Amino acid sequence: MPKILFIDESGDHSLTRIDPQYPVFVLCGVILEPEDHDAAANRLNDFKRDLFGTTDIVLHTADFTRKSAGFERMAEHGFRLAFFRELELLIAGATFKIVACVIRKKEHLKRYGFNALDPYILALSILVERFIFECGVDGGTIVAEARDATLNHALELAFLDLKIRGTNYLPAARVEKRIHNFTIRDKRENIAGLQLADVVATPIGRNSLGKATYAAYCSEGDFFTTVRRKFRRGYDGRIERTGLVVLPE
């Protein structure tokens, strides 16, 4: 069966509002075989059941770092420690590959000025390329996390443009042929693939800024150490440009 790419983001795609503490935009995708997604969903449900006593809670970085929306127990040190140790095991044990694009917004704007592409649209083309390279002739499907109605419409138009114009390395006909379906789904639907993409996106962005993630709670001192092992790799084992693209170069 075709592979599935689940896409989520970290940071603001706007080039007019740049947070000095997090001046990057990350578009992150996790690639799973359908059977691996089923297995990841089961692992995720076990994780939630063990820690929260329910599977209804949606794993969302903004919520568990702010101790809100069902994650209020994150205020307890012991619970935080258990949560992040189990989260490491969840990510390490699930079978998936990461493709991600980090846009350094200040540098992007400085280099291209008024011609600078919207970071989301630029990053989307990068992820679609890598996903098609990974899928080969079998192709695959894409599930993107919903935003507001206006941004969802812009995303649909951006994907349509890829099917019409292609990317820097792929003709439009190949994008049309290899991507069988493109859908936008709400995070509240509790889709495992979107939650995995959410969890790994922020550590990727922080690492690009030289910052560790959840350092006080992770067994290896930085959650990105676990995340890095999941990137799509080239024949030489490198993740750069194969699984992780940072722009401008």
Mean pLDDT, residues 213-232 taken together = 96
Compute the half-sphere exposure of residue 207: CA atoms within 13 Å on the CB side of its CA: 20
Is residue 34 within 8 A of residue 127, CB to CB? The reply is no
Where is 2: in which H helix or E strand?
Answer: none
Share above pLDDT 90 across residues of the chain, in percent, rounded to a whole number: 94
CA distance 74 to 76: 5
**pLDDT (tens digit, 9 = 90+) per residue, 128-173?**
999 999 999 999 999 999 988 988 998 999 999 999 999 989 999 9
**pLDDT (tens digit, 9 = 90+) per residue, 178-211?**
999 999 999 889 999 999 999 999 999 999 999 9
User: How many Å is the Cα radius of gyration of the chain?
Assistant: 18
State the pLDDT at residue 83: 98
Could you say which DSSP state residue 118 is in? P
CA distance 174 to 182: 15
Which pTM value belongs to this model? 0.96
State the pLDDT at residue 1: 81
State the pLDDT at residue 104: 98
Terminal Cα distance for the chain, rounded: 35
CA distance 84 to 141: 30
Burial class of 157 by CB neighbour count within 10 A (0 to 12, 13 to 18, 19+): exposed
3-state DSSP assignment of residue 26: strand
Give the 3-state secondary structure percentages of the chain, helix then strand then coil, rounded to 5.
Answer: 50, 20, 30
Is residue 99 within 8 A of residue 229, CB to CB? The reply is no
State the pLDDT at residue 187: 85
Give the number of other CB atoms < 10 A from CB of residue 171. Answer: 11
Give 213's strand partners. Answer: none
Domains and CATH numbers, the chain: 3-41+97-247 (3.30.420)
